[in-house]
Structure 1
Amino acid sequence: MLQRLLPEHGFYLGLMFQEAAARHGRVRVTLDRPLDVAPDAGTDLGYTELADMVDDLAARLWSAGVRPSEHVAIHKRDNVDIVLLACAVSRIGAVPALLSSSLDGGVVAVLLDRLHAPWLITDRAGLESTLSGLDISLARGVLTVDEAPGHTLSLATCAEVPRRPAIRLHPREPSLITHGSGTTGIPRLAVHCPYTMWNRLVPQQALGRATRGEPAALHLSFVHSRFYHLLGVLLHFGSPLLLLVDPDPAHAGPLLAAHRPGIVETHSHTYALWEDLADAPGGPLSNVRAYGSTFDAVHPRTVRRLLGASRRRDPRLVQLYGQSETGPIAFGWCTRRGAGRVRGRRVGTGIPGFTRVRVVDERGRTCPPGATGAIEARTRGRILTYLGAPEQYARQVDRGWWRMGDMGYRDRWGALHLLDREADRISTLDSDLEAEDELLSRMSELREVIIVHGPRREPVPVVCTRGDRPLDADRWRRATGDLPALSEPVQCRFEDLPPTGTWKVKRLEIARLLAAGELPTLSTAPVRG
């Protein structure tokens, strides 16, 4: 009875910086690009300054007319001020809806329609490109972080308005909207609330306790819920931060060398790119105690390179498996000692007290160890619904179990192994993901390889090499000799592969472009070794 009378727990973005500043004061935050909302503030800030910026932006939004529970879409060029704007929207009790700048205008229009006339925060660049053909009536009002033409209101004109106390919605009311990767079409809008977000935050705080206070470097999507939970953990423990927008090794390497992070987290494709930093001058990764991976499993070759770059006594890579709808539902880690035996698709076990994982057959029966089936999870961190598509949400829930959309199996020790996305499965391969891992391990010159369906449902490897060097046909033949039959490889520039907002590769879109003859390929023919 007493528990029902007490307020429920909640993770509130609008209070995150304020609480961190009160607890840790002027811990430093380094940016690699000035903030668009405060270009004169520089790139060396502190918890206290950022908390004040959030409070100031919240006051400006209130002055512009934004009110509690209203949806506020944030769609602007990639930068850390997306985070500050999201926290400011949350601080006045409104609901930030984070839309990736990589979305095209047609998709943005669909999502704005599903948000039911939201406020829109954007910038001149967006209004003159992606949003140029947008029906302005889809938004209640358009606010900009810079000066922009048309019927817009610049947040700069709302300066010096009175500050307001923070507003906290009920823990089970919507508080954040993010979208999925969009790998299979129009991305769905995932609705989070403080209670479900708290149930994701707490286990991640427990996992992060061992590295509390270590300097951290992050290159993550600012529109993904994972960034906010990781930021919540790091702010709670008072970590100095390096927040990167540009992952190019030539740009990020010197900053990492100067910052010397003990914690690093980025996307798996960026980790592959950062293999080049393992032996770079200044030892950019030499002080890393823990790498974090949450979006895709990191390829084993990359794991070995990253762990080998650290000079710490016992560095490890921590793998969290989940999705936007659930948060992390399984975890595991790899040490330098075990890196030679690492299997990239072993994603760990359920999080005790917070998540349970099972693998089921086509009739919903639990599969025995080693048998492949659909992965399902039960977690208190599950989103409330899909905004505008509740029927799609309902189809993925079975008596509290959430269908992850992945195929895999559990071994006899209970560890979960990921094989493929259900939508991407290729019948002639046990696992296209494992085949890709094997090829990357055998051919160091590959930056990425993606196996997709060809026009006749045949498995076609789409490959990207480091520096776009021509693929060595003899090395490719030797590397694939003992694998199931693959079609001739198609070589592309990595930058030409269609990405999601979290830099995943859109496999189904690659297959569509390949079938239509529209996939940009390198004209250089394979060479003989």
Structure 2
Amino acid sequence: MSMDDQNFRTYVEENLDALSTHPDREALIHQGRRVTAGEFRDLVHRMARALLAQGIGRGRTVTLLCGNLPETLAARYAANLVGARVNHLYNKLSADAQAAIVRDVETQALIVDPRLAERAAEVTKLAPVPAVLVLGPAKTGTDLLELAAQQSAEPLASLARPEDICTLRHTGGTTGHPKGICTTFEQARSFSGLLPEEPDGERRQLVVTTLAHAAGHLADNTLRSGGAVVLHDDFDPAEALATIAGERITDLFLLPPLLYQLMDHPDAAHTDTSSLRMLTYGGCQSSPARIADAVRRFGPVLFQVYGQNEAGGIALLNQDDHDLERPERLRSAGKVIESVEVAIRDESGRDLPPGEHGEVCVRSEMIMQGYWKQPELTAEVLRDGWLHTGDIGFLDDEGYLTIVDRIKDMIVVVGGHVYTTELEDLINTHPQILQSAVFGVRDSDRMEQVYAVAVPVPGSDVDADGLRAMVRERRGAMYEPADIRFVDALPLTDAGKPDKKQLRQLAEQSLAGSGEGRG
């Protein structure tokens, strides 16, 4: 082991050090249960020793099938402390998709939330694993908390080395071979400095999205800063608003569709949200019109993060940039992070000047090591140290980055390209529309047609013909949707993004069943 390896401190060790500073402080809250920093720190060390006793250590894979429990965070910390790589499944994937991932990453131990024990049985029937460890008593599997209680809480030195894989995050997985994104322990430390330092005062973060996504990183930051994390099992706007007021929440992360639900809820108008200091959003495209509404509702606390699991953080749009006097800023993803290089390139790899649309390519220390055991796929997106993100965007003269679409979501129509986010932005400016999703559907001649699904303001009289007329007048016939359907709410993925795959499938089924036409 080199001297650098000996001096290396993982994110887990740094967080455990911070928890040890004030062990009596409140660290985690879940359904009225309050866990102190010292209790959580001790649980991590006990769990780590229990994992070692089960033969799970450096270079092994631990997969989590867990909801937002304090013990879920402890299990991730414990597995990483012993040098294991961690894969955290999205709970709302199908059992087949989860089993494919469990099998793909060569899972040594599946750690299970007792509430998901039945699903764990389905998954392990399809993809057997050497050990099933449950965060409490259950009919199947071994109680990891009972094993941990028999172990010492004495500090355990990390077994991980900087170059070891810390996390495996999957993109896709619902069809075909899942893609496991490999991030090292050294890279995991760099995520901690992504967000700016906040003003003095205790940070209190509300988690309403899965810990398997960005909320998990933000929870790490909060615990390291000496703050407290309040865990909700899922997103409910009324419950979130009540918790913001009752727990004096300072920090909250939401994907844009959830942010819209929060500010549109009737309770938002009379809930005290003055404690909020940083309402972070990201994970999918946002609507400038709706973000402006959020600034009016919650004040100058919005903060956008643009990044990818493959690339880490790329750009930030801070609170000051959410200026209602400069609405064009709300369309951008913010300024490129200082430690990140971004180039906009055409299909031939040529760098494009400011203002021109091309693929966003990124180079930084946060870029993934590659896709787990898929060298050919890795070589497609990682070329000469640059990650090809698959996003289409442009840089302006001031260094602000704007994302206009995913390459795979861009709709190729007669006469040119339709950028789905630009059309969504336009539809969302209609005073009777809350949210929209635009996607392409192929007709019987295999030509792509523009389809849209919109969420109207309750009680509104907006109709598809009126929306199409607005689009035709403002953007031209090329952008006019062939079909617009209205729904009470958009379907969302487990991470909270609009599920365009499901919307596209429903549209294709409707098209096949009723013949082509305009809605």
TM-score, normalised to structure 1's length? Answer: 0.85
Equivalent in the alignment of 1:220: 209
The offset of 1:408, in angstroms, is 0.9
Equivalent in the alignment of 2:342: 357
- Equivalence map 1:244-323=2 (5 Å): 244-276=232-264, 280=268, 283-310=271-298, 315-323=300-308
Distance 1:479 1:414 in 2: 32
Provide closer, same or farther for how the CA distance between residues 302 and 239 of structure 1 changes in structure 2, counting only shifts above 3 A: farther
The offset of 1:85, in angstroms, is 1.4
Distance 2:402 2:322 in 1: 21
Between 406-415 and 508-517, report the one with greater CA deviation. Answer: 508-517
- Equivalence map 1:305-454=2 (5 Å): 305-310=293-298, 315-335=300-320, 338-343=323-328, 344-352=330-338, 354-428=339-413, 429-446=417-434, 448-454=435-441
Q: Is the Cα–Cα contact under 8 Å of residues 215 and 263 in structure 1 kept in the other structure?
A: yes
Provide closer, same or farther for how the CA distance between residues 193 and 336 of structure 1 changes in structure 2, counting only shifts above 3 A: closer
Residue identity matched to 1:411: D
Provide closer, same or farther for how the CA distance between residues 421 and 211 of structure 1 changes in structure 2, counting only shifts above 3 A: farther
Provide closer, same or farther for how the CA distance between residues 10 and 288 of structure 1 changes in structure 2, counting only shifts above 3 A: farther
The offset of 1:374, in angstroms, is 0.6
- Equivalence map 1:126-145=2 (5 Å): 126-129=116-119, 131-132=121-122, 134-135=124-125, 138-145=128-135
Q: Is the Cα–Cα contact under 8 Å of residues 245 and 275 in structure 2 kept in the other structure?
A: no
Aligned counterpart in structure 2 of residue 21 of structure 1, from 11, 14, 19: 19
Provide closer, same or farther for how the CA distance between residues 462 and 160 of structure 1 changes in structure 2, counting only shifts above 3 A: same
The offset of 1:291, in angstroms, is 1.8
Provide closer, same or farther for how the CA distance between residues 215 and 188 of structure 1 changes in structure 2, counting only shifts above 3 A: same
TM-score, normalised to structure 2's length? Answer: 0.86
The offset of 1:104, in angstroms, is 0.9
Distance 1:176 1:373 in 2: 30
Q: What RMSD, in angstroms, separates the aligned Cα atoms of the two structures?
A: 3.1
Residue identity matched to 1:202: G
The offset of 1:7, in angstroms, is 4.4
Between 335-344 and 156-165, report the one with greater CA deviation. Answer: 335-344
1:375 aligned counterpart, secondary structure: strand
Q: Is the Cα–Cα contact under 8 Å of residues 181 and 501 in structure 1 kept in the other structure?
A: no
Is residue 508 from structure 1 mapped to residue 501 from structure 2 by the alignment?
yes
Distance 2:348 2:167 in 1: 35
Aligned counterpart in structure 2 of residue 462 of structure 1, from 453, 460, 463: 453
Between 63-72 and 463-472, report the one with greater CA deviation. Answer: 463-472
- Equivalence map 1:187-198=2 (5 Å): 187-198=178-189
2:63 aligned counterpart, secondary structure: strand
Residue identity matched to 1:23: T
Equivalent in the alignment of 2:37: 47
Residue identity matched to 1:196: Q
The offset of 1:169, in angstroms, is 1.1
Residue identity matched to 2:311: T
Residue identity matched to 1:215: R
**Aligned-pair identity (%):** 21
2:429 aligned counterpart, secondary structure: helix
Q: Is the Cα–Cα contact under 8 Å of residues 277 and 285 in structure 1 kept in the other structure?
A: no
The offset of 1:181, in angstroms, is 5.4
Q: Is the Cα–Cα contact under 8 Å of residues 391 and 407 in structure 2 kept in the other structure?
A: yes
Q: Is the Cα–Cα contact under 8 Å of residues 208 and 240 in structure 2 kept in the other structure?
A: no
Distance 1:479 1:259 in 2: 44
Aligned counterpart in structure 1 of residue 162 of structure 2, from 168, 171, 188: 171
Q: Is the Cα–Cα contact under 8 Å of residues 266 and 292 in structure 1 kept in the other structure?
A: yes
Provide closer, same or farther for how the CA distance between residues 269 and 80 of structure 1 changes in structure 2, counting only shifts above 3 A: farther
The offset of 1:183, in angstroms, is 8.0
Provide closer, same or farther for how the CA distance between residues 101 and 247 of structure 1 changes in structure 2, counting only shifts above 3 A: same
The offset of 1:210, in angstroms, is 4.4
1:166 aligned counterpart, secondary structure: coil
The offset of 1:261, in angstroms, is 2.4
Distance 1:65 1:295 in 2: 36
The offset of 1:474, in angstroms, is 6.5
In structure 1, list runs of 5 or more residues that go unmatched: 34-41
Distance 2:123 2:317 in 1: 46
Residue identity matched to 1:460: Y
Q: How many residues were matched structurally?
A: 501
Aligned counterpart in structure 2 of residue 58 of structure 1, from 45, 48, 56: 48
Provide closer, same or farther for how the CA distance between residues 242 and 189 of structure 1 changes in structure 2, counting only shifts above 3 A: same
The offset of 1:243, in angstroms, is 2.8
